[in-house]
Structure 1
Amino acid sequence: DASINEILESSEIEGEVLSRDSVRSSVRKKLDENFDYESDSSTRHTDGLVSLLLDSRQNDTLLTEERLHAWHSILFPTGYSDGHKIDVATYRSDEMSVVSNKGYSETVHYLAPPHEQLREAMNKFLDYVNNSQENPFVKSAIAHIWFISIHPYDDGNGRIDRTITNYVLSKELGLDHKYYSLSTAIRKDRKAYYDVLEKSQNLFYNRDFDFTKWIAWHTTMINLAIESSLEQIKIIIQKTKFWDKAREHPLNERQLKVLNKLLNKGVENFEGGLSTKKYANMVSTSIPTAKRDITGLIDYGLIEQVEGSAGRNTRYVMRF
């Protein structure tokens, strides 16, 4: 799920919403030898994004201009972005600035280097990525802000940038599989991301070119991503243990359906908690049948009554 989330969230940061089923199908097609092609819901685009992510994580060969261009062509296989023709698999040939519009006023947040300087700037950047012995977390943060400051492509710079961050962390830490998604953490705090990025790049705010705040923020995002991943792993282990216990009992289809919904959505997502009436509605059964099912689940030790609830207000929660 970390790989799926990385692809989904990195695209969403840029305003592109992908189908989770399509991305999941593309991931499974790459990693599962027994993939069922009859149920394939992937697209050429999501297949490409998965190939890009896996290359950044599992291919630790040098990062080169050709490799970056290949990644860029994966993002824009048609040569168009939002209906506009762009330069693909080559550095931009025009000037680049990051602007926002409010009413009739336009604010320039950042002006990238002139296109005539791109090759020299990128050569220095690639030399740093390939040869620097910096701490991996510091190096990934510096590589992130360095590349996005050069802004070498017509479009897709943010997604390529986060791919480079994945590459640096995977290579420097010796991990061909990362069980956390940095893009998820960044997307959750997207406003802060653009704010700290602008204040680090803009000489009005950062006249000494001190990137300490950026490195600290970037490292915090990595830490949050890891913590979130550990929490997800904890939940998966908890679910596995729960089903190991549940398999010891003769559950009917209704009980299995309700337990699945509770595990997948969480009891907190059922406003007011799980009640007999809600149980009956979830599986389209009668109240008496729902009561018998619930009594059975309590006897099996799979759910329990919420302390203090009684009568029509009786509520139930999972018992792990």
Structure 2
Amino acid sequence: MRVVSGASGREIVHFEAPDAVRLPAEMNSFIRWFNEDLTTDPVIKAAITHLWLVTIHPFDDGNGRIARAVTDKQLARADGTSKRFYSMSAQIRKERKEYYAVLESTQKGSLDITSWISWFLECLNRSIDATVFLLDAVLYKAVFWEFHSRTGMNERQRLMVNKLLDGFEGKLNSSKWAKITKTSQDTALRDIQDLVDKDVLEKETGGGRSTSYDLRRIN
């Protein structure tokens, strides 16, 4: 099995899996090592697990998905808990271009897998950082609504406040408010001013052609 790109006659071979006759022995070695090895650092083992399984390439399809799933299983072992809030699989999908590049260079190179392990550990750190950021946002959203549990808001206002809490792209002004809520400019301005008066929104500094607004932070 090969992974190839390029025009006919000028193909570039990105990866070539072991011959099919070797698969039973390779998989037996992998499974035995995965289940029995207790000396390798568990996080390093997760990196080796992914590389080894995706290089054996035992299936016609889905090798990447299976490798990510088995890697997540090993990371769960490393954490010593069934509850994990970060997802290495999701981070690898986000960084698939870099993932395929380091995977290809490692598979085509010598038996030195240091560069692969370094990339894997850095990707794992980014996965954890991304999850911390997400959890902070979720927790802040809960705190915000608890703080404003007695603040009266109509459905349009709740919709727009939630969009701001979830990470509104660009600047929020009355025109965008009117477009998203499908209402008039005057109604949008009244909605916004009402939330400013209730200390939910505040005007952003900087000026420009139109006034923009953001959530007032809760200390």
Fold agreement, TM-score > 0.5: yes
Q: Aligned runs of 1:19-98 on 2, under 5 Å?
A: 96-98=1-3
Tell me the SS of whatever aligns to 1:153: coil
Distance 1:283 1:169 in 2: 44
Q: Deviations over 1:9-30 (max 9, x none)?
A: xxxxxxxxxxxxxxxxxxxxxx
Q: Aligned runs of 1:2-21 on 2, under 5 Å?
A: none
Distance 1:244 1:214 in 2: 45
- The Cα of 1:137 is off from its aligned counterpart by 1.2
**Counterpart in 1 of 2:36?**
131
Say if 2:137 is the partner of 1:231. Answer: no
Distance 1:132 1:222 in 2: 22
Distance 1:117 1:101 in 2: 28
**Counterpart in 2 of 1:241?**
143
What is the number of equivalent residue pairs in this alignment? 216
TM-score, normalised by the number of residues in structure 2: 0.91
Q: Which amino acid aligns with 1:188?
A: K
Q: Which amino acid aligns with 1:314?
A: T
Q: Which of 189, 193, 196 is the aligned partner of 2:95?
A: 189
Distance 1:244 1:307 in 2: 27
- The Cα of 1:196 is off from its aligned counterpart by 1.0
Q: Does the Cα contact within 8 Å between 2:69 and 2:89 map onto a contact in 1?
A: no
Distance 1:286 1:114 in 2: 67
Distance 2:99 2:85 in 1: 22
Q: Does the Cα contact within 8 Å between 2:72 and 2:89 map onto a contact in 1?
A: no
Tell me the SS of whatever aligns to 2:60: coil
**Counterpart in 2 of 1:116?**
21
Q: Which amino acid aligns with 1:274?
A: L
**Counterpart in 2 of 1:301?**
199
- The Cα of 1:102 is off from its aligned counterpart by 3.5
Distance 2:46 2:99 in 1: 15
Distance 1:291 1:212 in 2: 58
Distance 2:183 2:15 in 1: 60
**Counterpart in 1 of 2:210?**
313
Q: Relative to 1, partners in 2 of residues 1:144 and 1:250: Cα closer, same or farther, differing over 3 Å?
A: same
Tell me the SS of whatever aligns to 2:86: coil
Q: Which amino acid aligns with 1:193?
A: Y
Q: Does the Cα contact within 8 Å between 2:50 and 2:71 map onto a contact in 1?
A: yes
Q: Which amino acid aligns with 1:99?
A: V
- Worse-matched range after superposition: 110-119 or 136-145: 110-119
Show structure 1 runs of 4+ deviating over 4 A: none
- The Cα of 1:103 is off from its aligned counterpart by 5.3
- The Cα of 1:171 is off from its aligned counterpart by 2.1
Say if 2:118 is the partner of 1:221. Answer: no
Tell me the SS of whatever aligns to 1:108: strand
Distance 2:94 2:7 in 1: 24
- The Cα of 1:254 is off from its aligned counterpart by 2.1
TM-score, normalised by the number of residues in structure 1: 0.63
- The Cα of 1:104 is off from its aligned counterpart by 4.1
Q: Which amino acid aligns with 1:111?
A: E
Q: Relative to 1, partners in 2 of residues 1:97 and 1:247: Cα closer, same or farther, differing over 3 Å?
A: same
**Counterpart in 2 of 1:39?**
none
Distance 2:88 2:174 in 1: 41
Q: Relative to 1, partners in 2 of residues 1:259 and 1:150: Cα closer, same or farther, differing over 3 Å?
A: same
- Worse-matched range after superposition: 211-220 or 287-296: 287-296
- The Cα of 1:302 is off from its aligned counterpart by 1.1
Q: Which amino acid aligns with 1:163?
A: A
% identical aligned pairs? 39
Q: Which runs of 5+ in 2 are unaligned?
A: none
Q: Which of 69, 84, 96 is the aligned partner of 1:163?
A: 69
Q: Which of 147, 169, 190 is the aligned partner of 1:292?
A: 190
Q: Which runs of 5+ in 1 are unaligned?
A: 1-95
